[in-house]
Amino acid sequence: MGSQTAYIGLDVHSETCTMSWMDGDGVIQGTESFETSEQNLIEKVGEIESQTKKITLEESPLAFWTARTLTGEVDEVIVCDPRENHLISRSIRKGDEPDAQALARLLRMGELKEVYQPENDRRALYKQACSHYMDLRDRQRVLKQKIKSRLKRWGHLHIPGAKVFSQSGREVYLDELSHDRIRSQVESQYRLLDQTHTEKKAARRQFLELGRQYPETQEFQEIPGIGPISAHTFDAYIQTPCRFATKQKLWRYCKLGVRKHSSGGTQVRREKLDPAGHGELKALSHRAVREALGGEDENEVQASYRASLQRTGDETHARLNTQRKIPLGDVGALEERDRLQPEVIL
């Protein structure tokens, strides 16, 4: 008869996996390496004799597939944040076997920071569609920068914003290039830009179409400054607010949390924004606040910003405090509560 609980650490790679497991007393019971496949994962985990099986692996491109494969085979699957696993990253012994053993040990000690995984394939596809759209958007931005840079290098010092990228406007600049080889290079970049633009439009349609099944995206657009893409991006990343125990954890996920350093009850460093989190969500909230503040009609964001500015006396603090209300989904409803509670001040 096997032990009551097996704590399993799994180090997953494209070619091979290394699995190590220990009992409730912290004694390593076995370590094994095998070829990565769905069948092998299920078989190797199934061979471990234990009443309860808990397994952990670090977040990676293979994490979602691995967790989905093992969900029905063990009692608990935890995908953990590798940035928090200092026992592994700072160890003098680095390798698949010691890493798997360290994961098993951290799992048994309860010292892992879990990384949320999509609750089903539909949610995973939705988030992937969001990432695909943003990747093409960023690629288009880079191509535009390269085209402008190449034209400036050959004497076009004053280039208007969008005209240089239109079908008619670009010909003016191409005709003024004195070297055929440079012209052919810029034409190649224009072709890549056109193709990326077409792919981005298709990705946008797919992204928004997948988001139609989630009614919360419509509710989120009621916030001033939030449009369809921002609403769907936020929903694709957050998925469910239940995953965050407190609003502070949601802020940190949106890269709006505050990092504090203290010793003996005394602050030893100036508070600043925590670099952990998703920059896309921080940028989303920044754009929403900026657009809402620039609107001609009075709105909740403007009222919240002015109230925070009056309390803090600092424009940056007021903007960040207002940004933190965007992910919570209701700026106006929070206003009265925030009058009674201290704000986050950097």
pLDDT > 70: percent of the chain: 90
In a domain, 233, yes or no: no
Percent of the chain with pLDDT over 90: 49
pLDDT in tens, 156-189: 767 777 788 888 888 887 877 778 888 888 889 9
Query: What is the rounded end-to-end Cα distance, in angstroms, of the chain?
Result: 57
Which residues make beta-bridge pairs with 52?
5
- One domain for residues 281 and 319: yes
**Site of tokens 């600092």:** 314
Alpha-carbon span 316 to 339, nearest angstrom: 19
Let me know whether 247 and 336 are in one domain: yes
pLDDT at 23: 94
| Residue 331 confidence (pLDDT) | 42
As a whole number, mean pLDDT of residues 18-35 equals 95
Q: How many domains does the chain have?
A: 3
- Does one domain contain both 247 and 332? yes
Which amino acid is residue 208, in one-letter code? L
Asked, for residue 231, whether it belongs to a domain, the answer is no
Across the strands, what pairs with 78?
56
Residue 285 burial (CB count, 10 A)? 26
- Report CA Rg, the chain: 26
Model pTM? Answer: 0.78
Of 109, 140, 171, the domain-final residue = 109
In angstroms, the CA 12 to CA 91 distance is 18
**Is there a single domain that holds both residue 260 and residue 327?**
yes
CA 133-138-140 angle, to 5 degrees, is: 95
Give per-residue pLDDT as tens, 240-259.
878 888 888 888 889 988 87
In tens, the pLDDT along 135-144 reads 999 999 999 9
Task: Report how far residue 106's alpha carbon sits from residue 87's, in angstroms, rounded to the nearest whole number.
Answer: 8
> Do 256 and 324 sit in the same domain of this protein?
yes
Flag the least confident range among 121-135, 147-161, 237-251: 147-161
Instruction: Encode pLDDT of 37-48 as tens digits.
Output: 999 999 999 999
User: Are 131 and 158 part of one and the same domain?
Assistant: yes
User: CA-based angle 220:226:229, to the nearest 5?
Assistant: 90
Where does a domain end: 82, 109, 136? 109
Flag the least confident range among 15-19, 180-184, 200-204: 180-184
Q: Are residues 136 and 173 in the same domain?
A: yes
Domain final residue, candidates 109, 135, 159: 109
pLDDT class for 286, splitting at 50, 70, 90? very high
CA-to-CA distance for 59 and 102, rounded, in angstroms? Answer: 15
CATH code, 16: 3.30.420.40
Q: Is residue 284 in some structural domain?
A: yes
Domain contains 53: yes
Q: Please give the mean pLDDT across all residues of the chain.
A: 86
Mean pLDDT computed over 319-342: 59
| Residue in the structure block whose two tokens are 């989303």 | 284
Q: Are residues 251 and 175 in the same domain?
A: no
Domain-embedded: residue 226: no
Same domain, 250 and 187: no
Distances (CA, A) of 76 to 52, 113, 195, 206: 9, 14, 45, 33
Is residue 10 domain-resident?
Answer: yes
Same domain, 31 and 77: yes
C-alpha dist (Å) from residue 31 to 28, 105, 112, 181, 208:
8, 13, 20, 59, 46
In this prediction, residue 151 carries a pLDDT of 83
Structural domain boundaries, residue 286: 242-340
Determine, yes or no, domain membership for 220.
no
- 221 domain-assigned: no
